[in-house]
């Protein structure tokens, strides 16, 4: 009987102490909300900060209720992150400093490769103190002359925040390779590296593709093909006979390269396309490694060797972009949205 009573007391104490602790944590925490383009890229920098309790990605700023990834933009919302932090460990001004180092505040039409009002940069203040701190921070940034163009980041009052779907939360943890490729191919890392010292950005997601890092990320064949101009075996590679609908991106940088709609059976045993999906992402170089002169094709941002282009393809282009599967990653049309290539969904809509 004594033992039962003791156990009951323990349960009773647990039920009374735990809620009290939770209430105390909630009472001393504050919320900061920011928009800076793709919310995948905005979560990690804040989660790394000492004093930040949690970071949630979602939608805010609009009037439509219960937005989803498919309709948040049409409802007037913006991709944003909600940061819960302990003000006794980190100040709002310190968090603002990290925010500025994740974005291009001069861009009023979106952020990096993500275009449209749903990707613009915004500071959503939750109090008059936050508003004052945000305005002061923006003014100091303007005076610093770091940027030669006007600062277009908006400062507006916070409204209801809707958490995004679960697969968007902690995307950098769930899909680290895709996350890194996306940041690189979108131009975010290149821009931020140019504007700020990496250590000041508090972002380990921005990784340089050094030779050693690439050897860790790629298979031996992928490395040989993309970095050493290797050629994989014909008829014995991943995509030569792939007939699924979708797009092909650089296995290193993630930049979009080719589309299944332009793929054809060339009889060579390698993936062949009549044209690039994004011409600016494919560059041509003269290749004299053989007795014959060929035209090599490489990815613009990743600088990966892809293959060669020949003038024996079908009309109307008459071109054959003969590529290595090892240089590509295929994204099926049904995965385009969640992989960060939603803009290409329209290519497959009938």
| Contacts within 8 Å (CB) and 24+ apart, 309-313 | 309/284, 313/264, 313/266, 313/272, 313/274
- Residue 106 or 341, more confident: 106
Q: How much is the pLDDT for 212?
A: 72
pLDDT level of residue 23 (50, 70, 90 thresholds)? low
Whether 15 has a pLDDT exceeding 90, the answer reads no
Asked about 259 being catalytic, the answer comes back as no
Tens of pLDDT along 257-289?
Answer: 999 999 999 999 999 999 999 998 899 999 988
pLDDT averaged over every residue in the chain: 87
Whether 199 has a pLDDT exceeding 60, the answer reads no
The structure tokens 């996350």 sit at 179
- Residue 4 or 152, more confident: 152
Q: How much is the pLDDT for 194?
A: 87
Asked about 322 being catalytic, the answer comes back as yes
Element (DSSP H or E) covering residue 213: helix 211-217
pLDDT level of residue 26 (50, 70, 90 thresholds)? low
pLDDT level of residue 205 (50, 70, 90 thresholds)? very low
Whether 179 has a pLDDT exceeding 90, the answer reads no
Find the mean pLDDT for residues 297-313.
92
pLDDT level of residue 350 (50, 70, 90 thresholds)? confident
Helix, strand and coil percent figures for the chain, each rounded to 5: 35, 25, 40
Q: How much is the pLDDT for 57?
A: 97
For residue 203, give every residue at least 6 positions away whose Cβ sits within 8 Å of its Cβ, in sequence order, or none.
44, 45, 48, 102, 192
Whether 201 has a pLDDT exceeding 50, the answer reads no
**Token output for 41:** 């890229």
Cα separation of 73 and 67, whole Å?
A: 8
Could you give the domains of the chain? Answer: 25-201 (3.30.1060.10), 216-348 (2.170.150.20)
Q: How much is the pLDDT for 18?
A: 45
Find the mean pLDDT for residues 221-237.
95
pLDDT level of residue 117 (50, 70, 90 thresholds)? very high
For residue 304, give the nearest of 289, 277, 330, 285 by alpha carbon.
285
Lowest model confidence (mean pLDDT) among 86-90, 164-168, 177-181: 177-181
Whether 122 has a pLDDT exceeding 50, the answer reads yes
Q: How much is the pLDDT for 157?
A: 98
Q: Which of 41, 186, 259, 322 is catalytic?
A: 322
Find the mean pLDDT for residues 225-238.
95
Find the mean pLDDT for residues 97-120.
95
Find the mean pLDDT for residues 70-91.
96
Q: How much is the pLDDT for 289?
A: 86
Tens of pLDDT along 316-347?
Answer: 999 999 999 999 999 999 999 888 788 899 99
From residue 165, how far is each of 35, 77, 189 by CA, in Å?
17, 15, 25
Q: How much is the pLDDT for 197?
A: 62
Tell how strand 246-250 and strand 282-287 pair up. Answer: unpaired
Instruction: Please check whether residue 55 is in contact with residue 84, taking contact to mean a CB–CB distance below 8 angstroms.
Output: yes
Q: Which of 12, 38, 186, 259 is catalytic?
A: 38
């Amino acid at each position: 009987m004594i033992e039962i009573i003791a156990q009951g007391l323990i349960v009773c104490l647990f039920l009374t102490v735990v809620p009290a602790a939770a209430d105390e944590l909630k009472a001393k925490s504050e919320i900061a909300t920011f928009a800076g383009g793709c919310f995948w890229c905005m979560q990690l920098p804040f989660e790394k900060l000492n004093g930040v309790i949690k970071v949630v990605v979602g939608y805010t700023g609009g009037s439509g209720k219960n937005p989803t990834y498919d309709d948040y933009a049409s409802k007037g919302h913006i991709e944003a992150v909600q940061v819960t932090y302990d003000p006794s460990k980190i100040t709002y001004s310190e968090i603002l400093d990290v925010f500025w180092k994740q974005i291009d505040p001069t861009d009023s039409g979106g952020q990096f490769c993500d275009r449209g009002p749903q990707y613009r940069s915004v500071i959503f203040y939750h109090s008059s103190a936050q508003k004052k701190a945000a305005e002061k921070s923006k003014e100091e940034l303007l005076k610093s002359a770091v940027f030669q163009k006007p600062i277009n980041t908006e400062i507006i009052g916070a409204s209801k925040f809707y958490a995004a779907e679960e697969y968007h939360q902690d995307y950098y943890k769930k899909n680290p390779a895709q996350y890194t490729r996306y940041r690189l191919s979108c131009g975010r890392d290149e821009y931020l590296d140019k504007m700020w010292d990496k250590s000041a950005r508090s972002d380990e997601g921005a990784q340089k593709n050094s030779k050693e890092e690439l050897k860790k990320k790629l298979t031996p064949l992928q490395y040989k093909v993309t970095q050493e101009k290797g050629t994989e075996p014909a008829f014995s590679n991943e995509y030569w006979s792939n007939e699924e609908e979708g797009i092909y991106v650089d296995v290193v940088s993630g930049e979009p390269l080719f589309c299944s709609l332009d793929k054809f059976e060339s009889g060579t045993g390698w993936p062949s396309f009549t044209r690039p999906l994004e011409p600016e992402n494919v560059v041509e170089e003269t290749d004299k490694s053989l007795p014959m002169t060929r035209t090599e094709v490489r990815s613009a941002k990743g600088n990966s060797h892809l293959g060669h282009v020949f003038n024996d393809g079908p009309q109307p282009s008459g071109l054959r972009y003969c590529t290595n599967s090892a240089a590509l990653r295929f994204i099926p049309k049904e995965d385009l949205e969640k992989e960060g290539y939603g803009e290409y969904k329209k290519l497959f809509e009938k």
